[in-house]
Amino acid sequence: MMNYPEEFKQKVLAVFGNSEEMKARLDQGQEIVGRYLDDSRRDIPAEDVVKACESLDFKEIYAKAKRSVALEELYGEWSDLYHKQHEGMQR
């Protein structure tokens, strides 16, 4: 169980489009939020990069890359929160 600060919740919801499912998971302090962040931070398929380079249209790939950077930062925050809140606990 996690205790997510309001600021962290708002950042996560901004990246996930105010998902009701994510909001519920954050409010309930579910640790699975970290898994969602981890899995989502590497979501730029190689074929999208190739397509952008071939077409010289980088707008979409840029937006995806910015989202990935935000998710990477959020995952780092989640990891720090997790370790602080579970310090000294045996699993």
Mean pLDDT of all residues in 46-65 = 93
Q: Given CA atoms 81, 11, 31, 37 in this order, what sign does their dihedral have?
A: negative
* Residue 1 counted as domain residue: no
Domain count, the chain: 1
* Residue 54 counted as domain residue: yes
Using pLDDT thresholds of 50, 70 and 90, give the confidence band for residue 79: very high
**pLDDT at residue 43 tops 90:** no
Q: Which residues form the domain of 41?
A: 6-85
Residue 20 CB burial class (10 angstroms; 0-12, 13-18, ≥19): exposed
Instruction: Check if the beta carbon of residue 61 is closer than 8 Å to that of residue 54.
Output: no
**pLDDT at residue 8 tops 80:** yes
